[in-house]
Structure 1
């Protein structure tokens, strides 16, 4: 995907500190204080333009949401959505998610969403896939005991790889759909990519997995 450069995006992000959080390492272990409540925290890695997480935050005011997106030219659209919706239970982080343990304390997150992650199709790049075992270990370290990952993709190869990765890690498969939009699953909130790919006739795959009890 070629990203369009957006002049002034970084400056605009920094001008809304109530929505886009910086000095993230200082927040470690204190995220509930930032939200001003003791509600559980759900994190989306690769939040893109923010459609999914904005709608989730609207539908679930009793849950705190954090969207992580590395590209300021993309997350700026999520900020625009958040400004319009003015949701107190949603914050954005403009950074790379490969160091979650620097940002969140052990057990600070209740659920992680991985939606339409980069499939990194070449075998030599398998370690970069967000469902690779090293990422799973990182997620487990910041999630509550037996925390969950909810995963969606239109890429069959990535989905198959992920199911194997989850299984090898000892995770429990609570839900699997090989064709989400033709299933009986209720309450699905689509991402921008999901709308695009499903309109092109792509099958959408989804699963909910849970880490093993230690």
Structure 2
């Protein structure tokens, strides 16, 4: 994906610390203090321009959300949406998802969203996929016991790979849809990519998986 350079993005992000949290490592284990409540915390890894999380935060005011996006030129669009909506239950982090363990402690997060992640189709790049086992281990180390991953993609190959990866890791497959927009699933909030691909007739795949604890 070729990104348009936006030299003003860094300054805009710095001017809005109430939305894009500066020095997020300082809040590891204390995100409830950032939001000022005890509500569950859901994060989206690779939040893009923010359409999904803004929609989710508006739909679920009783849940806190954090969007993770490493590219300043992309998170700028999410920031602009958030400034317009002024949602108190949504924050953004301009960080690399490879280092989530630096910002979140065990039990900080209740759910992880992975939406239209880069499929990295070449086998030699499998370790870069956000559903590869090392990422699954990282998510487990920040989720509560029984925490979940909700995953959406238009890429059949990535979806099939991810189902196998989830299963081999020992995750419980709670929900699988091979054609989300023709299913009976309610409350779906679309991402920008989802709107684009579905308008072209692409099938949208979705699943929900759960980490099992000793009681399960």
Fold match (TM-score > 0.5): yes
SS in 2 for 1:120: coil
Which digits, 9 at most, give the CA deviation of each residue in 1:59-116, with x for residues without a partner?
Answer: 1110000000010101100001000000000000011111111101111100000000
If the length of structure 1 is used for normalisation, what is the TM-score? 0.99
Q: CA deviation at 1:213?
A: 1.3
Superposition pairs of residues 140-159 of structure 1, within 5 angstroms: 140-159=140-159
Q: CA deviation at 1:22?
A: 1.3
Cα distance in structure 1, aligned partners of 2:7 and 2:24: 24
Superposition pairs of residues 163-178 of structure 1, within 5 angstroms: 163-178=163-178
SS in 1 for 2:151: strand
Q: CA deviation at 1:212?
A: 1.6
Equivalence for 1:36: 36
Equivalence for 2:101: 101
Which digits, 9 at most, give the CA deviation of each residue in 1:141-183, with x for residues without a partner?
Answer: 0000010000000000000000000000110000000000011
- Paired residue total: 214
If the length of structure 2 is used for normalisation, what is the TM-score? 0.98
Equivalence for 1:192: 192
4+ runs deviating over 6 angstroms: none
SS in 1 for 2:34: helix
Q: Does 1:83 align with 2:83?
A: yes
SS in 2 for 1:152: strand
Equivalence for 2:8: 8
Superposition pairs of residues 115-130 of structure 1, within 5 angstroms: 115-130=115-130
Q: CA deviation at 1:7?
A: 1.9
